[in-house]
A and B are shown apart, each in its own frame.
Chain A
Amino acid sequence: MSERSERTDQLSAKDPSPLWEVFVRARRGLSHTHVGSLHAPDAELALRNARDLYTRRQEGVSIWVVPASAITASSPDEKDAFFDPAADKVYRHPTFYEVPDGVAHL
């Protein structure tokens, strides 16, 4: 249902029926969202099973399936270095910029 731990990644390589991650787009215009995972021998069966498993109640209009082994995840240990917005780059935010009084639609 979520990101794999590394231990599962190793196991799934030997698994006769590989693991697939499933992404569903709920409606036109929305993005695909991860909804879970399943085992299937190949992509086509993964797609059919995902249809039956995750879209039985009008949950979506488009499905992606991806072999779990094809996904590389960031590690929680490097979360800080990886994701901290650089505090010295405040100019990346629109709020950094001063708008003179009286300017509309900006």
Chain B
Amino acid sequence: MYGNDFAAPEDGPGGGLLGEVEAAEAALREAAARARRGGPAPDEDLDGYFTDVIDADQKIEPRDWMPEAYRKTLIRQIAQHAHSEIIGMQPEGNWISRAPSLKRKAILLAKVQDEAGHGLYLYAAAETLGVSRDELVQLLLDGRQKYSSIFNYPTLTWADVGAIGWLVDGAAIVNQVPLCRCSYGPYARAMIRVCKEESFHQRQGYEILHTLAHGTPAQKAMAQDAVDRWWYPSLAMFGPPDGDSTHSAQSMAWKIKRFSNDDLRQRFVDMCVGQAEVLGLALPDPELRWNDERQAYDYTQPDYDELMRVIKGDGPCNRERMAHRRRAHAEGAWVREAAAAYAAKQKNKEKVAA
């Protein structure tokens, strides 16, 4: 969230994705202003009240009654979103010590710090649904909850850091901007914070690629290679096609999701074409062309069999990512215990002094 002392982003309300985030934030305040007074009447059925709140585009809050399936779906979605932010620090963290200049290194550090923060905002939002963060982390470590498939791809060159910023964070924003209007209040509010920071990530990635694409032929080739490798995995981030998406219909009815996987994927493609032209880089899809009838680009679908393999744990880096996360957790155990012991000791001292 930008502080009150901070200048508004230059393309403020109405302009681009950041404008949509601003609009979602305004809608949040409006929804609160016209909120129906009071909870359900004593004789009113809770299910009806819940449906009313959703239909009126108002927010469900932590202590409101909600169907158990709504709670479960949200816990799953928000937790997996949080896990993605945490695991997502690894592919980029891979290049921190090798960033080509001090400026790029400082930016990358700030970005990875943001990802950690996004993970924490999201875990906190999930916790309002009655689970603890420790439980969720354990589910991730046990392999019982997933994280975004995209982070199972390796970062082979410096240009990959640019491609991740532009394409991966770009896809994340297209996916997350509608979540700013999600029916569950804490999730919507977390997404508003996340999207504002995510825009910084997308733009810095784009700048890296732009610099490389206008540098030496070797740099340009490196940028093109990164885009070639990240394009389809980024398209796959939107999930399976609408026909195969198991949770979609219910999530849309509950206004957790506002657009289908395929709609968002199309929006992302349409957005990227012009951006790639400015970069002077090609998107690796020979079938990509403007369809005048649909007023949208036709494009080749990503390989969904590959997506399923990666989600099931068989991508290029799945084992490495999880091993790293488990090792950090296990090897950090004594530090967590020391912190808890120190906190307990301080508390005792205070009690004695009082």
* Chain A residue contacts of B131, Cβ below 8 A: 8, 11
* Cβ-closest chain A residue relative to B338: A41
Contact with B along A1-35 (1 / 0, CB 8 A): 11111111001100111010000001100100001
Q: B5 is contacted by which of A2, A26, A75 (Cβ under 8 Å)?
A: A26
**Do the beta carbons of B132 and A15 come within 8 Å of each other?**
yes
Check A89 for interface membership: any CB of B closer than 8 A.
Answer: no
A80 contacts across to B, CB distance below 8 A = 37-39
Contact in complex: B346, A42 (CB < 8 Å): yes
Is residue B185 contacting chain A, with contact meaning CB distance below 8 A? yes
Chain B: minimal CB distance from A78 (Å):
8
| Segment 30-89 of A: residues with Cβ below 8 Å from B | 30, 35-39, 41-42, 45, 52-53, 55-60, 73, 75-77, 79-80, 84
Q: Which of B1, B120, B127, B133 has the largest number of chain A CB atoms within 10 A?
A: B127
**In the complex, are the beta carbons of B340 and A76 less than 8 A apart?**
no
Q: Do residues A36 and B128 form an inter-chain contact, with CB atoms below 8 A?
A: no
Which residue of B6, B63, B114, B343 contacts A75 across the interface (Cβ within 8 Å)?
A: B63
B70 on interface, CB distance cutoff 8 Å: no
A42 to B: closest C-beta gap in Å: 4
Which A residues are CB-close (under 8 A) to B61?
2-3, 76
Query: B39's contact among A59, A73, A77, by CB below 8 Å, is which?
Result: A77
| Interface membership of B64, Cβ < 8 A | yes
Among B3, B121, B131: residue with most chain A CB under 10 A: B3
Measured CA separation A52–B116 after assembly (Å)? 10
- What 1/0 mask marks residues of chain B from 1 to 40 whose CB sits below 8 Å from any chain A CB? 1111110000000000000000000000000000001110
* Chain B contacts for A41, CB-based, 8 A: 336, 339-340, 342-343
| Residue B62 lies at the interface, judged by CB distance under 8 Å to chain A | yes
Contact check: which of A2, A36, A38, A56 meets B62 at CB < 8 Å? A2
CA distance A57 to B1 in the complex (A): 8
B43 at interface, CB cutoff 8 A: no
User: Is B2 within 8 A of A57, CB to CB?
Assistant: yes
A17 CB contacts on chain B under 8 angstroms: 134, 336, 339-340
**Contacts A2-B185, A5-B130; A38 near B120 (Cβ below 8 A):** yes
Given contacts A3-B63, A53-B117, contact A79 B128 (CB under 8 A): no
B residues less than 8 Å from A84 (CB atoms): 37-38
Closest A residue, CB atoms, query B337: A16
Chain B residues within 8 Å of A7, by CB: 130
Contacting residues, chain A, for B114 (C-beta < 8 A): 56
- Asked if B113 is an interface residue, CB under 8 A from chain A, the answer is yes
Interchain CA distance A57-B4 in the complex, whole Å: 10
Are A60 and B124 neighbours in the complex by a CB distance under 8 Å?
no
User: Residues of B contacting A15 with CB < 8 Å?
Assistant: 132, 134
Residue ID in chain B nearest A77 by CB atoms: B39
Residues of A in contact with B (beta carbons under 8 Å apart): 1-8, 11-12, 15-17, 19, 26-27, 30, 35-39, 41-42, 45, 52-53, 55-60, 73, 75-77, 79-80, 84
